[in-house]
Amino acid sequence: MIDELRDAEPRPVWWDGIRTGPQTEALRGTVRADLAIVGAGYTGLWAAIEALTEDPSRRVVILEQDWVGSGASGRNGGFVAESLTHGLAHGEAMWPDELDQLQRLGRQNVEQIAAFLDEHGIDADLRLIGKTTLARTAHEYEALRKAVANYARHGEEVRFLDRDEVRADIHSQAFLGGLRSLRGGLVDPMALTLGLRRVAEGLGAKIFEQSAATGITRDGGTLTVRSAHGTVDAAQVLLASNAYRPLLRRLRAWILPVYDYVLATAPLTAEQLDSIGWSQNQGLTDAGNQFHYFRRTRDDRILWGGYDAIYHYGNAVSPDLELRDRSHRLLARHFRETFPQLAEVPFTHRWGGVIDTTTRFTPIFGTAMRGQLAYAVGFTGLGVASTRFGAGVALDLLAGRETERTQLKAITGTAVPFPPEPLRWPAVELTRVALAREDETGRRGSLLRTLDRFGVGFNS
């Protein structure tokens, strides 16, 4: 199977036709800032935009270890989700008293993103057309059918699709049913990143690429962020490093970097598009714990990713881990099984990226260094939209503002820490086995039930 991937470019399809690599000089010497941001992905860029919109005179500096768009923000699937709780079921289990409020804030967040892109002329191919969650097994079918009532209780409109209805939409024998939602949608993630960068720099943010932050110290009222060839002296620091090694020690117990792998096909012809239906062009995901996510791009390729999430021993994060033949072969096989009518369509791109997750499957927020440093990390695959919300939370914390969002237990609470190595890797592997077993049998085993009781997010 690897032969059919031999000619696939080892880079995200989103990078085609754009200039990649660093566009700025690295940090050298000492610069001063009111706010230093570590990480120029979605979280960092949104934080810079929000901070400068609030106070245009603010000096904002962003340090990026590689180049803007090289990380998760430029290589994800581009699913725009309203959820701030990693799914309705998980939100109900964790924060039932706050769930309707969190749902409202999540909807407002996506509406505000759409308005922002329109206001600033950012062509990120944003399409708020929702998604369909697909059942491949009888127990997934029943779970989706029963979920409709739960969505209705919280004012969410979804439509259950039986076998005939889902196959009339998506021409594949793999699916037994589905749950169609019109909330959220799709975006070109790299176009979004570049658009946010343009606005941030236009407002006055100074970005230094190839300037990895190596440490932070506090002296009096000044925080100093160190890089290889320079420093930033700042009144405040916002950590937006997500899956990458955090500079704050406490975050190392809470953040787990997990690699996700993706394929993209060649553009489909009109005949090939007709053979698969999918005329609404919505995002698609499987209902299982191990799930595929797939979508069409603006040039009618199919992006096919997910399922085989991999944790590497010792929280390893490296460019060498962005390609994994075993995972890419598995994805290719699953694609051919799902859409046998596309057997002749080649894969043109394959890549991987690292996701930051927490045990509760939602981000964690907080402050350190006497309130001069804030962090927003752990978006667990939903960061395309929720990073904007998270950046706002972090800025609220730095300002000492009591707002609606900073008073939520979903924000002020923390996550159960992951165990340290050498226990971390086997614990993750045991959990993966338990999740796969539930996908096969529909029964939640004792390990997962125990984790549920501790608020660990494997019930989403």
pLDDT at position 451, please? 86
* CA–CA distance, 27 with 39 (Å, rounded to integer): 14
- For 193-224, the pLDDT digits (tens) are 999 999 999 999 999 999 999 999 999 999 99
Q: Residue 460 above 90 pLDDT?
A: no
pLDDT of residue 453: 82
* 93 has a pLDDT exceeding 80: yes
Judge whether 186 and 125 are in contact, CB under 8 Å: yes
Distances (CA, A) of 86 to 106, 274, 344, 410: 11, 33, 36, 11
- Report the C-alpha gap between 114 and 117 in whole angstroms: 5
pLDDT, residue 458, reads: 61
Q: Quick one: tokens of 216? A: 């932070």
Could you report the per-residue pLDDT of 137-183, keeping only the tens digit for each?
Answer: 999 999 999 999 999 999 898 999 999 999 999 999 999 999 999 99
Query: For 356-409, how does the pLDDT look when each residue is reduced to its tens digit (9 = 90+)?
Result: 999 999 999 999 999 999 999 999 999 999 999 999 999 999 999 999 999 999
Q: Are 315 and 252 in contact (CB under 8 A)?
A: yes
Say what the pTM is. 0.97
Per DSSP, 346 falls in state P
Collapse the DSSP code of 369 into the 3-class scheme (helix H, G, I; strand E, B; otherwise coil) and give the result: coil
At residue 346, φ and ψ (nearest 5 deg) are: -80, 155
Q: What DSSP designation does 98 have?
A: T
| Structure letter (DSSP) for residue 343 | T
Report which of residues 405 and 459 the model is more confident about.
Answer: 405
Q: Are 363 and 380 in contact (CB under 8 A)?
A: yes
How would residue 336 be classed by pLDDT, with cut points 50, 70 and 90?
A: very high
Predicted confidence at residue 1, as pLDDT, reads 45
Q: H or E segment at 431?
A: helix 424-441
Whether the per-residue pLDDT at 310 is higher than 70: the answer is yes
Residue 459 has pLDDT above 80, yes or no: no
Q: What per-residue confidence (pLDDT) applies to 102?
A: 98
Cα(315)–Cα(417) distance, integer angstroms: 14
Question: Would the pLDDT of 238 be above 80?
Answer: yes
Spatial separation of the C-alpha atoms in residues 315 and 297, rounded to whole Å? 32
The two structure tokens encoding residue 14: 């989103």
